[in-house]
Amino acid sequence: MKNLSNKTAIITGSARGIGKDIAKKFSENAANVVIVDIIQDEINKTVKSLKKFNPNVIGIKCDITSENEVQNLVENVIEKFGSIDILVNNAGITKDKLLIRMKLSDWESVLKVNLTGTFICTQKVAKIMMKQRHGKILNISSVVGITGNAGQSNYSASKGGIIAFTKSIAKELAPRNINVNAIAPGFIETEMTEKLPAEIQQKYLESIPLNKFGKPHDIAELALFLCDNNSDYITGQTIVIDGGMI
Ligand code: NAI
């Protein structure tokens, strides 16, 4: 039997990047997979490519900062698959600026997507999981949520917030048999990191003992472990996966 047979997983921000690889890994492991994103074209492409592994992959356009849209998402998934067993809060954005130059809107939009969006999805899905008396919630944080990073005060605050949120929710939901964990990736090659200037990328590379950037599939392997039954006794943890960087 595959690891995620009969499980339904919602993965936010999964039309591309790390989320897409997590969705691929889960589809290969026989889950019903719901691709959630705001870019319809990318959703369509990703769903088409993943249906090769598994017919039970669907895409739903949803902005995770909208309570109404997330409520509709949850209702649609329950109608289609009957349960929600896994939530991966992966959608995230950056708006990097030094503190002195950061506009309030840069601060607010990053906190809204990365932290408030994670709260909204977790709250709506937790209601279902609490009734089911089981579930796995996985939040994608970042190493900069632990170390901080110049030019990323908004992003680091949102990712540090995710770690604290993970610990709190793990305590609240444990009595209902729901595990809540986080992954803190280092530098992973995706469209988010591609837009960084070459000299910044080189600086990051020099700080990584394994001397290479991570790939989305590195995160997907750990995500599978933290969302299948092999990790049933792990909760409230943040696991760093960064080639030794921090
Ligand atoms: P990406 O930019 O390639 O993918 C993020 C996806 O989230 C995009 O498809 C985007 O459309 C979607 N999204 C953005 N706002 C949304 C919203 N309001 N509602 C629904 N979907 C939305 O980024 P990447 O690199 O794949 O990152 C995925 C996660 O991993 C993010 O949370 C990021 O902060 C985190 N991360 C990434 C690292 C890296 O080196 N790439 C390092 C550490 C953490």
Homologous superfamily of 8-241 = NAD(P)-binding Rossmann-like Domain (3.40.50.720)
Region of residue 30 (left: phi > 0; alpha: psi -120 to 50; beta: else)? left
pLDDT above 80 (res 193): yes
Tell me what percent of the residues of the chain surpass a pLDDT of 90: 96
Angle at 111 (CA atoms; ends 106, 113), nearest 5 degrees? 100
Confirm whether 155 is a catalytic residue. Answer: yes
Sorting pLDDT into bands at 50, 70 and 90, what band is 209? Answer: very high
pLDDT above 70 (res 16): yes
Give per-residue pLDDT as tens, 88-120: 999 999 999 999 999 999 999 999 999 999 999
Average pLDDT in the chain: 97
Strand order in the sheet with 238-241: 57-61, 32-37, 8-12, 86-89, 135-140, 178-185, 238-241
- Domain residue extents for the chain: 8-241
Q: Which two tokens stand for residue 140?
A: 């994608």
Q: What is the pLDDT of residue 99?
A: 98
Q: Which of 26, 81, 107, 155 is catalytic?
A: 155
Distance CA 15, CA 63 (A): 13
Distance CA 240, CA 208 (A): 13
pLDDT above 90 (res 1): no
- pTM of the prediction? 0.98
What's the gap in Å between 14 CA and the centre of ligand 1? 8
Give per-residue pLDDT as tens, 18-43: 999 999 999 999 999 999 999 999 99
Q: Cα dihedral sign for 52, 232, 226, 120?
A: positive
Q: What is the pLDDT of residue 68?
A: 98
Give per-residue pLDDT as tens, 58-75: 999 999 999 999 999 999
The single residue listed with the structure tokens 């900069």 is: 144
Give per-residue pLDDT as tens, 41-53: 999 999 999 998 8
pLDDT above 80 (res 2): no
* Residue owning the nearest CA to atom 31 of ligand 1: 92
What's the gap in Å between 175 CA and the centre of ligand 1? 31
* Residue owning the nearest CA to atom 7 of ligand 1: 13
What's the gap in Å between 75 CA and the centre of ligand 1? 24
Q: Cα dihedral sign for 58, 130, 117, 159?
A: negative
